[in-house]
Amino acid sequence: YPLNSPSHLVVEGDWSNAAFFLVANALGSQVNITNLNPYSRQGDRKIIDLISHLEPMQEVDLSQIPDLMPILSILAAKRNGAVFTNIQRLRLKESDRVQTVQEMLRNMGVQTSITGNTFTVFPGNFNACTVNSHNDHRIAMSAAIAATTATGQIKITNAECVSKSYPAFWEDFSKLGGNYEQ
């Protein structure tokens, strides 16, 4: 069969990567984010609803949006906590994201709890610390956003791992006022 290429194609923005800066806005930053289709079929566009309507200790089903868990845990800690369910897929990502998110938050001074298929984040503030990204791009980017509201400096090991999904993250982070030193 002959195939024809469309004469005009618009590629919409990536909700997964935008989620980091959307949460930065929710935490008090001023980032202008464009080219996101509010009617997108991307599951991670759910971040908008969660930012707007995250209730204290709300249950959030991650079965369809597992990649949002690291940045949602930052939002939950700064808001009123959350209970994340259906976390089993997170153990099979670039790192065991259940363990690495728990380690990241605990290093920052935020309490968490893992029970079966549930990960609970309690409200808290971010303290100065070192976060091991475990070479997981979403951990590194989440820690960077947390650093924007931390009481002291957050150091991220293996921060260059962001190149997996967002090679310009540190450049964009710096352009937006974030302090990043290699």
Q: Which of 44, 67, 96, 136 is catalytic?
A: 67
Are 98 and 119 spatial neighbours (Cβ–Cβ below 8 Å)?
yes
Whether 61 is catalytic: no
How many other C-beta atoms lie within 10 A of the C-beta of residue 12?
14
Confidence of residue 19 (pLDDT cuts 50, 70, 90): very high
Whole-structure pTM value: 0.92
**pLDDT for position 94:** 82
Binning the chain into helix, strand and coil, the percentages to the nearest 5 are: 40, 15, 45
pLDDT in tens, 43-96: 999 999 999 999 999 999 999 999 999 999 999 999 999 999 999 988 878 889
What mean pLDDT do residues 149-163 have?
95
Q: For residue 131, list its beta bridge partners.
A: 156
CB 74 within 8 A of CB 101: no
- Pairing label, strands 118-121, 82-85: antiparallel
Inter-CA distances, 15 with 22, 38, 148, 163, Å: 9, 10, 21, 17
Q: Is pLDDT of 177 > 90?
A: no
* Spatial separation of the C-alpha atoms in residues 73 and 77, rounded to whole Å: 6
